[in-house]
A and B are shown apart, each in its own frame.
Chain A
Amino acid sequence: MRKCSLEKINLLFKEIAKNAELYLPQDQTDGSAAYKKWEEGSVWSNALNTVRSPKDFFFPQTEDLMAFKTEGKNIEVIDTRKALDDFVIFGVRACDVKSFDILDRVFLSEPVDSFYALRRSHGVIISLACSKPSETCFCKTFGINPAEPTGDISAWKTETDIFFESNTQKGKELLEKLSALTEECDDTAVVDQKAKIDAIMQKLPLKDLKTDAFGGGKTGELFNAPEWDELSEACLGCGTCTFVCPTCQCYDIKDFNTGNGVIRFRCWDSCMYSDFTKMAHGNNRLTQKERFRQRFMHKLVYYPENNDGLFSCVGCGRCLVKCPISMNIVKVMKKIGGKKGE
């Protein structure tokens, strides 16, 4: 384990940024935090987490896939992919690191999504333990320990220092490059922080949320549950939950007419939207109840069914904070799960 004094943290950022683009949470003018590129003078945010999740780095909201240019009767097909440099994402919380695993299973399974794979191969993740989780956090429900964040390098921040431990070859190589600014140390302070985080985890209001009622094979049991009516009653049908979610992965592919050609791009889509997966025969989910149900069945039943029981929620709590009507996966799990959900 190596440590760096927080007084030298900007030197450390500068050193990382010498070899790769560095992104870290920074405060925005509205008071919330977002991942921004580090530049001289950038200030690392103290916020627990960002509004937008770091999935943006690997699966951006919009991305050009290819383009066509027409000239007379000729169509030229243009590869819009660009070479990518290595980049480092600093300060990723344990929940968000886990979300990459969930996205990987979708985008890196055959047929591999080459756009996603390219970004993923160039990204180095430095995670950060959560010393002060929020009341909206429930990562523990999904087997995530905020005291033990994974990623290429794990980090723990105390009042005075930041501690690093590498987990992968990529992480090891990066830490070696930072050896002039870090020193070898024992893990006393980190062990102490982990114990404190464990203690606070016992006090979180959502600590007892259980997934027992959900998982693969539950479609028949849950699809027609009467509770969906009530749960979806007030849903506005906006895309807030899906767009702040670190694991929502649905996208649409669209053509943009440039006048003398077409740019084919993909953009995030939301199962909450009325034209989601609209097909030639029409929309396969006509009511908001059906759209609402799709989102939660996907996270709690369909995804685990196809992915060895892994749920596609990491308990980051963004949807709890941001839903305009305060309806969210926790309320769904408690209501649908009944006694099993508490």
Chain B
Amino acid sequence: MQKITREQLIQKASELLENGTVSAVLGWGIGEFDYDVTPTVFSTVEELRNGFVFNDFCGANFSKYLVKKTDKIEGKILVFLKPCDTYSFNQLLTEHRFDREKVYAVGIPCEGMADIAKVKAISGDGIAAIGSNGDKLTVTTLYADEPVVIAANDVLAERCINCKSKKHVAYDELMGEEGEVIESNRFDEVARLEAMTADERFAFWQNELSRCIRCNACRDACPACTCEKCVFDNPNSGVENKSPANEFEEKLFHIIRAYHVAGRCTDCGECSRVCPQNIPLHLLNRKFIKDMNDFYGEYQAGAEVGSRAPLVDYTTEDLEPGEVFDRRENNA
């Protein structure tokens, strides 16, 4: 399904390693199966040949890794960025979270990534191999006599169904063709929630958040969450907790996090991708993005470096808080 191949990426990375442009490569490492890739740092061409992989399961957003990796490394690190990853990249630069000079960014096209849970829902469990051919995935399982052929579009990750941009907003070099910003339907689900009564909406989130196990994966994968010490990890903060002590606390954590990243969240969707309990956390962030667009004019975090987010900017055209409240009342 991806237009760019593993071989092309290995060749590019090898070239840049060999000519000394970079001293390491942040890429996707091969797993036990055809879908369990691990973000990996490669230092030699041999390592790349043995362990680098690129397929429909390379969803991980590498931008956040640059905060730690650029600290450690001598010289530059090569990072491969899909279009959505470039927004996080810019946002982190806006927040001065890593040294741009230590990164060589190669933009790569993305046709959308697959969700392995969706694949298994169609193919059944017991996956032996997954092949990719054009816009089809061929899944061999331990239980089906014949391989199951699945249309790649039927197993796209939610965030890819609602892809907001095929355009790279940051790179040193671009591989493949540049795409466009897309008019996506990403706010449809938010609108559906807004149309609910307050009780229905409460029940919706009650059900979703009741599954939270407070593993913090959403926070730890989030490129907007790069505090050196999260308030929820600090025993002296008074709000630190390692598990949801009660229903209120489950919500408290997610609501505080959503507020903290408001205006900085690029809607990359990592939070929902990594959630072991499939909680649609991105909907909280999208609600804020939608509101900010409505109240203060269209704004896309990470579209450019150094932009001022609506909540930290002031213009005379800004809505008065009362007006915001009135609009909410009218919508309720």
List A residues at the B interface (Cβ < 8 Å): 28-32, 34, 48, 51-52, 61-62, 132-136, 200, 203-206, 230, 233-234, 236-240, 242-244, 252, 254, 256, 265, 267-270, 273-275, 278, 320, 322, 324-327, 330-331
Contact = CB atoms under 8 A, between A and B. Distances in A.
A234 B65 contact: yes
23 contacts: A30-B278, A34-B211, A51-B276, A132-B125, A133-B126, A135-B125, A135-B127, A135-B142, A136-B33, A205-B32, A238-B274, A243-B214, A243-B215, A267-B245, A278-B235, A320-B36, A324-B217, A324-B221, A324-B274, A325-B38, A326-B37, A326-B38, A331-B31
B125 A134 contact: yes
Contacts of A61: 213, 243-244
A52 B245 CA distance: 17
B200 to A, nearest CB: 14
Given A30-B278, A320-B32, A331-B31, 13 more contacts: A34-B211, A61-B243, A62-B243, A62-B245, A135-B127, A200-B142, A233-B40, A238-B221, A240-B213, A267-B243, A275-B234, A324-B220, A324-B221
A233 B33 CA distance: 20
Contacts of A203: 142
Contacts of B65: 234
Q: 6 closest Cβ contacts across the A-B interface?
A: A324-B274, A30-B278, A326-B36, A238-B217, A236-B220, A267-B243
A267 B39 contact: no
B40 A265 contact: no
Contacts of B273: 324
Contacts of A274: 229, 233
B242 A273 contact: yes
B91 to A, nearest CB: 18
Given A135-B142, A203-B142, A269-B242, A331 B277 contact: no
A234 B39 contact: yes
Interface in B265-287: 273-274, 276-279
Contacts of B242: 239, 252, 254, 267-270, 273
A234 B38 contact: yes
Nearest to A29: B207
Interface range on chain B (Cβ under 8 Å from partner): 35 or more
Scoring B40, B128, B214, B235 by chain A CB atoms within 10 A of each residue's CB, the highest score goes to: B214
Contact of A331 (B32, B127, B234, B276): B32
B240 interface: yes
A153 to B, nearest CB: 25
Nearest to B213: A243
Contact of B211 (A30, A242, A252): A30
A273 B208 CA distance: 24
Contacts of A51: 276-277
Interface string B42-79: 00000000000000000010000100000000000000
Given A62-B244, A252-B242, A238 B215 contact: yes
Contact of B38 (A265, A273, A327): A327
A322 B233 CA distance: 22
Q: Which of A206, A322, A326 has the most CB of B within 10 A?
A: A326
Interface of B is mostly: loop
Contacts of A273: 216, 233, 242
Contacts of A252: 242
Interface string B216-231: 1101110000000100
Nearest to A234: B39
Contacts of B217: 236, 238-240, 324
B126 A134 contact: yes
A32 B278 contact: yes
Q: Which of B233, B234, B274 gathers the greatest number of chain A CB atoms within 10 Å?
A: B274
A239 B142 contact: no
B126 A135 contact: yes
A234 B33 contact: no
Contacts of A31: 117, 121, 278
Interface in B114-165: 117, 121, 125-128, 142-143
B23 interface: no
A30 B245 CA distance: 23
Given A320-B36, A326-B31, A331-B32, A239 B216 contact: yes
Nearest to B36: A326
Q: Which of A29, A203, A243, A265 has the most CB of B within 10 A?
A: A243
B215 A240 contact: yes
A239 B211 contact: no
B240 A256 contact: no
B245 A265 contact: yes
A240 B128 CA distance: 25
Interface in B234-278: 234-235, 240-245, 273-274, 276-278
Contacts of A324: 60, 217, 220-221, 273-274
Given A31-B121, A238-B216, A205 B33 contact: yes
B318 to A, nearest CB: 37
A53 B271 CA distance: 22
A31 B211 CA distance: 12
Nearest to B125: A134
A238 B274 CA distance: 10
B193 interface: no
B41 interface: yes
Contacts of A206: 32
Contact of A256 (B36, B245, B277, B278): B245
A243 B213 CA distance: 7
Interface string B189-221: 000000000000000000110010111110111
Given A205-B33, A238-B215, A331-B31, A135 B274 contact: no
Contact of A240 (B33, B40, B41, B276): B276
